[in-house]
Amino acid sequence: MTKKLLMSLNLCFVTFSESASDESGSCLLSHIHKPSPSPEPNLNGECRQWRSNSCCMANGYKQYSFKSSTTSYQTDHCGQLSDQCLIMMQRQWCLYQCDPYLEKWVVNVTKAETNNYFGDMDLNIVNEKDSSSDSSIDSIFGNKSDDELYQMFMASQERTKSHRLWKVPLCKNDCDSWWNACKAELTCTNDWYGGFNWEQGEDGKWRNLCKNSTDSCKRIDSWFSSSTAFCEGIFKDDYKVIKHSDVCISFLEPAHNYNASHGENSRNSEEVEITLAVLLGILGVVSIVVIGVVLWKKRLSYILSRSEITTNLLDEAESPEREVFT
């Protein structure tokens, strides 16, 4: 009974967490995500643009700069990043942690750990439809104690939250801004996911270290040949750079991401409105100039005609008096 109850609870959890989604979006990516997105009016820092609807919490936004309960990501592995680069890094990290409209580009890539008692067992088995049968359940869980079953159940719950981004269509403008802010910074790898050694500190947190030594530190624009190569490679396969005029996700203008997640580019309509406003403004200025020129010409013509009349009168006044014939 205990085993079947745990399996039922797990299946319900997976169904709810991975398929339930509405216009408010969904939160799937991180262990520090909220269960579902909601407003966070006190969200500050570089994540403040997600206040209206967010997967991250206001009292924990400082965690969203490459840190979690188990890791402490060292962006200064080759020296402190400049403020402008750090801001851009944090902004794209806020997209990862806070944006509720990325579900279309979220995949589950978690694999069973090989360094614990689960061994190589694939925990995905709890998501299979045939796992509801007694034979399938008994073949996996038959020799487990209730305590072990509970631990496995909790691990499977954490597994459903272990997702990553996969080729999010990142706006080229965002990519270029990120590149320009960071291309002069130093790093020892072109893969900020798999290019490091990891060392566990006394606090129990894992930290990323350069594989060789800090002697391998080079400018980012030495590792990457272009902004696109940088954005698609630094966090490998998180992003795919897309023209700004196409449907794309933005960490600089996240207000457009809801429409982008539904295949619409609201930037186009906004840009059209801006273009029309500019054209109308130019037309207004041109109209004023034309009217001014016309009025000036009329005024000049009037002045010239008055001047001519005055000249004629003066000429007549200065001419000899007409002879009077009697």
pLDDT at 244: 86
pLDDT at 262: 93
Phi, psi of 265 (to 5 degrees): -105, 95
pLDDT at 3: 47
Residue 178 contacts residue 238 (beta carbons within 8 Å): no
Strands (E), 109-246: 163-165, 168-171, 186-187, 196-200, 206-210, 218-219, 239-242
17 CB-near residues (< 8 Å, 6+ apart): 28, 35, 160, 161
pLDDT at 247: 95
CA 193 to chain centre: 18
In the chain, what are the domain boundaries?
A: 2-271, 276-314
3 state DSSP class of 136: helix
pLDDT at 119: 29
pLDDT at 206: 86
- Which residues are paired to 107 by β-bridges? 164
CA 48 to chain centre: 12
* Ordered mean pLDDT values, 10 residues apiece, the chain (326 residues): 48 43 76 85 92 86 54 87 95 93 86 35 30 42 58 48 84 98 96 90 87 85 97 96 94 95 77 62 81 77 70 62 50
Pairing of strands 206-210, 196-200: antiparallel
Please say whether the dihedral angle defined by the alpha carbons of residues 159, 20, 13 and 96, taken in this order, is positive or negative: positive
pTM of the model: 0.63
Distance CA 297, CA 39 (A): 61
Phi, psi of 29 (to 5 degrees): -80, -40
3 state DSSP class of 321: coil
Pairing of strands 239-242, 168-171: parallel
Give the chain's length.
Answer: 326
Angle, to 10 degrees, between the axis of helix 172-182 and the axis of helix 83-98? 140
Residue 105 contacts residue 166 (beta carbons within 8 Å): yes
Residue 19 contacts residue 13 (beta carbons within 8 Å): no
